[in-house]
């Protein structure tokens, strides 16, 4: 009897969205060599490329061109061919005489719960929430959000964050797909217990920028929110005003970024969780002083890690430029692969792609000279 | 009638820079174009029926801003993309 074939380890693939198209980087089994494919959708502004973890074959890509409106492309062969969504995210037509909203771009593509195959959510600018039930081909607005009269008060579409107000974070409770959170820049974080039919602000303890009341009910500016898959009552957010943690059922966020070194501060875009350790989290600080340069403080890029849920932080910069690294990492451009040992990846506004195979202790550059990186998603394929 | 297609939209027309379409108005023409080349209309016209910021529609070399503008089969419609990007 032939010996049973050993199961191959999963292979990591990085899905990289940039200002000029999408790239796919495939790793060898030891993640020491990478092969670049692309650009896909060359010349289009690709905000997000995501692999469906439920079938490991469907890719969705959120794209727009400088001249053209936004759309979604689908691929079921890892980018060899693409099909456009039959009806991309679009707000409902407003009554005559009313200036209705139009999707400027889709920022985030989020697969639904494992119990709902084919379901995806999309977050847009202006802040809209959309759902697909057919693997991303047709999309409908989540009326409880898009048509909610409070939405325009919570998240004014005219809010002028640099890339326009957007809904960028969509978190689904793995225990119950009707329990959701969204994060809007600017507007804050919001919770739904009924699959998006109704929403409540969830911003206590979070400072708001440009507000006479520093702690209003809404109007905050989360940059990136995350929920821990093994402890879904634990939320983190990297906000315009610091790094926060919330352990439900509490409703008051704690600013865990106050324990970051004062000279670094706790401003940044992304936040990444260790998928097997709810206490371990990584951030990529940027300069949020004076006129908000939005580059690494002092031109010295560094990741910071906490292994105690934000009680303390350690700098992880080995391998990164020691000086003149004038870039940052956008909110969707830092990712973990879920392998053991965990791999971490980030892409920079300067077009570089970096990885760590030792949980941030040292970093190695995978690619340079890419366009401005807008998203990095680490996924695994069957070996 | 003849419709000129700019390069950013030729992925919808198999690379053709000019196609045939019909319609009694610009709105009707765009609907017919979308029937022939699915998805092309939404890249030019948003969900509220507004021409997107960087799209220009010309009828016989005259800028047309009203999608209800009437057309005849002899008209030539040119779609252009205004300068944008970076």
CATH code, domain carrying B34 = 3.10.20.30
Cβ–Cβ gap B48/A101 under 8 Å: yes
Cβ–Cβ gap A91/B47 under 8 Å: yes
Q: Indicate whether B56 belongs to any domain.
A: yes
For residue A138, the model assigns a pLDDT of 98
**A94 in B contact zone (CB under 8 Å):** yes
Nearest CA in chain A to B43: A69
Helices (H) and strands (E) in chain B, counts: 2, 5
Percentage of residues in chain A with pLDDT exceeding 90?
88
**A103 in B contact zone (CB under 8 Å):** yes
Domain that holds residue B63: 2-81
For residue A3, the model assigns a pLDDT of 53
Percentage of residues in chain A with pLDDT exceeding 70?
97
pLDDT > 60? residue A220: yes
Whether the upstream peptide bond of residue A163 has omega within 30° of 0, thus cis, is: no
Report how many Cβ contacts below 8 Å link chain A to chain B: 59
Q: Indicate whether B21 belongs to any domain.
A: yes
Which tens digits make up the pLDDT trace of A154-189?
Answer: 998 666 677 789 999 999 999 999 999 999 998 999
CB A325 within 8 A of CB A265: no
Which tens digits make up the pLDDT trace of B56-76?
Answer: 999 999 999 899 999 999 999
Q: How many angstroms separate the CA of residue A40 from the nearest CA in chain B?
A: 13
Q: Indicate whether A186 belongs to any domain.
A: yes
| Contacts by residues A237-241 (CB-CB < 8 Å, ≥ 24 positions apart) | A237/A169, A237/A183, A237/A189, A237/A206, A237/A271, A238/A268, A238/A269, A238/A270, A238/A271, A238/A283, A238/A331, A239/A206, A239/A207, A240/A185, A240/A186, A240/A209, A240/A267, A240/A288, A241/A206, A241/A207, A241/A208, A241/A209, A241/A267
Burial class (CB in 10 A: 0-12, 13-18, 19+), A194: exposed
Q: Indicate whether B20 belongs to any domain.
A: yes
* Distance of alpha carbon A350 from alpha carbon A326, whole angstroms: 8
Q: Indicate whether A81 belongs to any domain.
A: yes
Q: Indicate whether A242 belongs to any domain.
A: yes
**A65 in B contact zone (CB under 8 Å):** yes
For residue A2, the model assigns a pLDDT of 53
Q: Indicate whether A80 belongs to any domain.
A: yes
Least confident of A92-101, A225-234, A275-284, A364-373: A92-101
For residue A186, the model assigns a pLDDT of 84
Cβ under 8 Å to B: A residues 205-234: none
Domain that holds residue A122: 48-57+64-92+100-336
For residue B27, the model assigns a pLDDT of 97
Q: Indicate whether A43 belongs to any domain.
A: no
Percentage of residues in chain B with pLDDT exceeding 70?
95
pLDDT > 70? residue B86: no
Q: Name the band, by pLDDT with cuts 50, 70 and 90, for residue A8.
A: confident
Cβ–Cβ gap A103/B39 under 8 Å: no
List the CATH number of the domain containing A208.
2.130.10.10
CA B37: distance to chain centroid? 11
pLDDT > 60? residue B80: yes
- Structural domain total, chain B: 1
Please name every residue paired with A49 in a beta bridge, in sequence order, or none if there are none. A61
For residue A159, the model assigns a pLDDT of 64
For residue A260, the model assigns a pLDDT of 98
The beta-strand segments (E) located in chain B are: 2-4, 18-20, 55-59, 62-64, 76-81
CB B47 within 8 A of CB A102: yes
- Structural domain total, chain A: 1
Q: Indicate whether A7 belongs to any domain.
A: no
Nearest CA in chain A to B80: A67
Q: Indicate whether B86 belongs to any domain.
A: no
Q: Indicate whether B65 belongs to any domain.
A: yes
Cβ–Cβ gap B39/A99 under 8 Å: no
């Amino acid at each position: 009897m032939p010996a049973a074939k050993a199961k191959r380890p999963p292979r990591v693939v990085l899905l990289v969205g940039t200002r000029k198209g999408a790239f796919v980087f495939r790793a060898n089994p030891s993640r020491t060599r990478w092969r670049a494919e692309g650009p896909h959708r060359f010349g289009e502004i690709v905000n997000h490329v995501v692999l469906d973890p439920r079938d490991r074959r469907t890719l969705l890509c959120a794209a727009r061109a400088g001249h053209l409106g936004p759309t979604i492309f689908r691929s079921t062969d890892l980018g060899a061919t693409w099909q456009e969504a039959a009806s991309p995210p679009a707000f409902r037509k407003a009554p005559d005489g009313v200036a209705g909203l139009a999707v400027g771009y889709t920022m985030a593509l989020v697969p639904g719960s494992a119990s709902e195959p084919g379901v995806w959510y999309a977050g847009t600018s202006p802040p809209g929430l959309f759902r697909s039930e057919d693997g991303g081909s047709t999309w409908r607005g989540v009326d409880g959000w898009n048509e909610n009269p409070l939405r325009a008060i919570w998240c004014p579409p005219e809010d002028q964050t640099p890339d326009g107000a957007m809904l960028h974070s969509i978190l689904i409770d793995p225990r119950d797909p009707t329990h959701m959170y969204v994060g809007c820049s600017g507007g804050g974080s919001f919770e739904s217990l009924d699959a998006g039919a109704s929403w409540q602000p969830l911003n206590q303890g979070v400072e708001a920028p440009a507000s006479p009341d520093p702690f209003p009910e809404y109007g905050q500016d989360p940059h990136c929110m995350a929920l821990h898959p093994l402890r879904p009552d634990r939320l983190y957010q990297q906000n315009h005003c610091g790094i926060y943690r919330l352990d439900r059922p509490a409703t008051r966020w704690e600013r865990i970024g106050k324990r970051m070194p004062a000279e670094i501060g706790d401003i940044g875009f992304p936040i990444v969780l260790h998928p097997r350790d709810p206490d371990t989290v990584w951030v990529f600080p940027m300069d949020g002083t004076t006129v908000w340069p939005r580059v690494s403080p002092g031109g010295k890029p560094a990741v910071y890690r906490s292994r105690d849920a934000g009680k303390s932080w350690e700098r992880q910069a080995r391998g990164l430029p020691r000086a003149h690294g004038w870039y940052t990492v956008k909110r969707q451009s830092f990712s973990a692969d879920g392998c053991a040992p965990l791999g971490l990846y980030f892409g920079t506004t300067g077009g570089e792609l970096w990885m760590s195979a030792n949980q941030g202790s040292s970093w190695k550059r995978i690619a340079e000279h890419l366009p401005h990186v807008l998203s990095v998603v680490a996924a695994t394929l069957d070996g | 009638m003849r419709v000129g297609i700019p390069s950013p939209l030729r992925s919808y027309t198999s690379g053709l820079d000019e196609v045939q379409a019909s319609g009694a108005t610009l709105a009707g023409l765009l609907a017919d174009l979308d029937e022939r080349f699915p998805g092309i209309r939404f890249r030019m016209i948003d969900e509220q029926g507004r021409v997107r910021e960087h799209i220009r529609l010309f009828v016989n070399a005259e800028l047309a801003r009203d999608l209800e503008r009437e057309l005849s089969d002899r008209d030539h419609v040119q779609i252009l993309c205004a300068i944008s990007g970076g």
